[in-house]
Amino acid sequence: MENIISLKIIKDAEERIAPHIHRTPILSSQNINSIAEAELFFKCENFQKIGAFKIRGAANAVLSLKDEEKLKGVCTHSSGNFAQALALSAKKAGIKAYIVMPRTAPAVKKNAVLGYGAEVILCEPTLEAREKTVAGVREKHGAIFIHPYNDYKVIAGH
């Protein structure tokens, strides 16, 4: 993928993920507009699958995998929303997901990831521990690493 996310790449991602996500509403509030003295619009991603926009990027990344990559499964590190998004996207694609989460992640987030069929691997709550643990997962299982935010396919999908 290019190092620039062009409008074409974004439109391709939109088309790729459309059947896999909700089209969320954009709402406005007269009361808030009055307080702000401006017309404001709210993209209600809380109505999205998993309750966050992160499903968009995760779905695009998973749907962009080659068939031979899908056989290896995917892995990431995340405290919650991207963890759930990748777990659900992998489940829908029929592939294995390994999610590295800090031991301090909320139980509701861990349970959601487990509920989507992913394997949760706990680590200490530091970036160094996350990266080291996910590297071990990659080495052990050969899973494709999908970075939760520093990945062009994730960014294009978001």
Among 128, 17, 116, 135, which Cα is nearest to 76's? Answer: 135
* 72 is a catalytic site residue: no
Residue 37 amino acid letter: E
Which of 54, 96, 109, 153 is labelled catalytic? 54
**Terminal CA-to-CA distance of the chain, rounded, Å?**
16
Confirm if 58 and 89 have CB atoms less than 8 A apart. yes
Q: Any catalytic annotation for residue 79?
A: yes
- Contact yes or no for 15/157 (Cβ under 8 A): no
Q: Which of these is catalytic: 6, 64, 72, 79? A: 79
> Mapping DSSP to helix (H, G, I), strand (E, B) and coil, where does residue 38 land?
coil
Q: Just list the catalytic residues.
A: 54, 79
